[in-house]
Chain A
Amino acid sequence: MEHTSLLERILRGIALTLVVVFFMFPIVWILMMSFQTNETILRIPPQLVFKPTLANYTALITGKLTTAAGTLDIAFMRNLWNSVFLSVTSVAVALLLGVPAAYAFARHKFRGSEDIAFTLLSFRFAPALLVLLPLTLYFQKLGLANTYIGLIWVYQLICLPLILWIVRGYFEDIPADIEYAYRIAGHSWFATFRKIALPLAGPGIAAAGLLAFIFAWNNFIFALVLASADKQPVTVGALAFITSSGIQYGQISAAIVLSITPTLALALYAQRYLVEGLSLGAVKG
């Protein structure tokens, strides 16, 4: 049994509170801002007590932004949909390509397999801006600029290496004997992959998919350069709130709240899964 004195517990409580306040403050502040008008936000000193308004959310959902200079159309809901569509599709494609590839890298050591796997990982080393210029030129030639297909393709730079490397570790953790046993029982290698390897690597695949989703969702630079307004995700769409008549802090905050809600909900729901999954893959000897 562990005995802790009252003082110890109080100090621990204070320390924990400090940490939580430190990390939660920006989110709480943004949440508060999203219920205020620009005037109350910009008041000095800032007020903790205010009359909440839903105007920011209404503006986002109806798509009509009322500023001092007049009414402005914004495509926030469109952007949100783009984010969902791009992230989900990219992760789906990355899973479809990455999981079998990860299995191949884990189970079959062929000539150059390590090099190929490393090259795929190195996509994540290159600064996005470095890749973007040539990519933009190619995309314009190929007619892929400003298309969903083009964006999903580029998003593979984010998702595929992540999924490939995490899932590969999981496949390597499955004892080969288990798969051998299934083969010897009379099943084909494909059945073995489907019925043994996939279910056993399931938590890892889920964790990798989730992480890839978050990365894809948070991506800004690829969509900024390669897509125009109607294909852009929320991360880029939020730029629209910097208008000629000033920065719309209230709407930006509301947009942030709306755009982090899906990932936050997903992360909270799968938190245990995610931590377990990622650390399991990590402690492999």
Chain B
Amino acid sequence: MASLELRNVVKRYKSQTVLDNLSLSVADGETLVLFGPSGAGKTVLLRLVAGVIDPDEGKIFIGGEDMTDLDAEFRGVGMAFQNFALFPHMTAFDNIATPLQAKRSSQGAMKAGVESVAKLLKIGHVLSHKPRALSNGQKQRTALARALVGSPPVLLLDDPLRNVDAKLRFEMRLELPRLLADRGATVVYVTQDYKEAMALGDRIAVMSQGVIKQLGTPEQIYREPANIEIARLFGDPTINLLDVKPSRDAKGIYVGLSNVQVHLTGAYDATVGRDCVIGLRPEALRFVDEGTPAAIPVTVEAETPLNEKIVTLVRTVRGREILVSRPAGTPGQTEGRANIAVDGKSALLFDRASGDRIGSKNVVNLRSGEAA
């Protein structure tokens, strides 16, 4: 098994800097999720680690060894591609067997190796098929099997669930963590799906425009997002963001929401009088009876029952729209006038100009790399 480290890696294409002085380390056996929009540099980062492209600056270490100048075939990593990249002229069996072939395994060992990983991924019955005859889900599993079969110490998975249907994606999201844990490999997993990121990652690195904006556990990213952008990307329904200007009274710092003073807990002293954005997770809002202190009067606009939760769109007296989420089966207002209460502890406050969260300790120092 092996740890993985990137040190001050820079990658440019023509005049465009795709990775900007990026440093990152992944502990032995850890699953790190690279999350971010297209063009953030996630795939480039994986390819640098795999050795199919070279960095312009910086070093890459696998298991403590400098691999920067080593060709892909000597790095001993396994990789699954977003577009599967199966060899179209080979059967699924031969596809999966390629890493074993490269190790000059015996025929018997090869057969045993392929069959055991195929059984694990439930594709044992299609091993004799060419990729063209496989369904998308089978292709994806074949690609995954090929990455896993050689038991590489480092596994790079480039959005492997991107091109499969929703049902299979859901299944794989449940299966993958166990599968990866069993292997004990160090995993770098790229995804654009926040649920996948939350489900699979020991830690999540949120990337944007070639830099890591935040690095932390799924819990940290969700509870303490470094900026508005990250807060918006994680969470379904999306976080409510309202423009506010905090003030101070005897009880502390508060923001005015529909003329109701909502007191915030946290070190927000410096925010008084500044233009801010308050972030309220839909599940941190509750319907309350009229007359409850600090209750905000709203009008219910629409209600969307999802399986496990009910999302209600409400409108405040000032006309701002807010989403409220509550577990299915719990009481709530379905129409007409209602009152909601805000949990001041879970509210997030962002600086409106920069978008950074106020009081965030978790922002990565963009130049020096490592997260706090």
Contact = CB atoms under 8 A, between A and B. Distances in A.
B51 to A, nearest CB: 7
- 5 cross-chain pairs, A with B, having the tightest CB-CB distances, nearest first: A186-B102, A177-B85, A183-B72, A185-B99, A181-B85
Interface string B68-106: 000111011111010101111100000000110111000
A48 to B, nearest CB: 52
Contacts of B101: 185, 187
Interface of B: 47, 50-52, 71-73, 75-79, 81, 83, 85-89, 98-99, 101-103, 146, 150
Given A199-B89, A200-B89, A184 B77 contact: yes
A186 B51 CA distance: 11
B52 A186 contact: no
29 contacts: A175-B83, A177-B85, A178-B87, A180-B52, A180-B81, A180-B85, A181-B81, A181-B85, A181-B86, A181-B98, A182-B98, A183-B52, A183-B71, A183-B73, A184-B50, A184-B51, A184-B73, A184-B75, A184-B79, A185-B98, A185-B101, A185-B150, A186-B73, A186-B76, A186-B99, A187-B98, A187-B101, A188-B73, A200-B88
A181 B73 contact: no
Interface core residue of A175, A177, A199 (most chain B CB under 10 Å): A177
B160 to A, nearest CB: 13
Interface in A186-234: 186-189, 196, 199-200
| Interface residues of A, dominant DSSP | helix
Nearest to A174: B88
Given A186-B99, A186-B103, A181 B87 contact: yes
Contacts of A184: 50-52, 72-73, 75, 77-79
Contacts of B85: 175, 177-178, 180-181
Contacts of B73: 183-188
Interface core residue of A175, A185, A186, A187 (most chain B CB under 10 Å): A185
Contacts of A175: 83, 85
Interface residues of A, number: 16
A240 B289 CA distance: 111
Contacts of A196: 87
A196 B90 CA distance: 9
A186 B146 CA distance: 12
A203 to B, nearest CB: 11
B248 to A, nearest CB: 57
A197 B85 CA distance: 13
A181 B146 contact: yes
Nearest to A187: B102
A277 to B, nearest CB: 16
Interface core residue of B72, B77, B81, B88 (most chain A CB under 10 Å): B72
B117 to A, nearest CB: 13
A12 to B, nearest CB: 36
A200 B132 CA distance: 14
B102 A185 contact: yes
Nearest to B47: A180
B207 to A, nearest CB: 20
B83 A177 contact: yes
A176 to B, nearest CB: 8
A170 to B, nearest CB: 13
Contacts of B102: 185-187
Contacts of A180: 47, 50, 52, 72, 79, 81, 85
Contacts of A188: 73
A39 B120 CA distance: 82
Contacts of B88: 178, 200
A182 B87 contact: yes
B144 to A, nearest CB: 12
Contacts of B52: 180, 183-184
B62 to A, nearest CB: 13
A20 B370 CA distance: 75
Contacts of B86: 178, 181
A185 B50 CA distance: 10
Contacts of A183: 51-52, 71-73
B42 to A, nearest CB: 15
A276 to B, nearest CB: 16
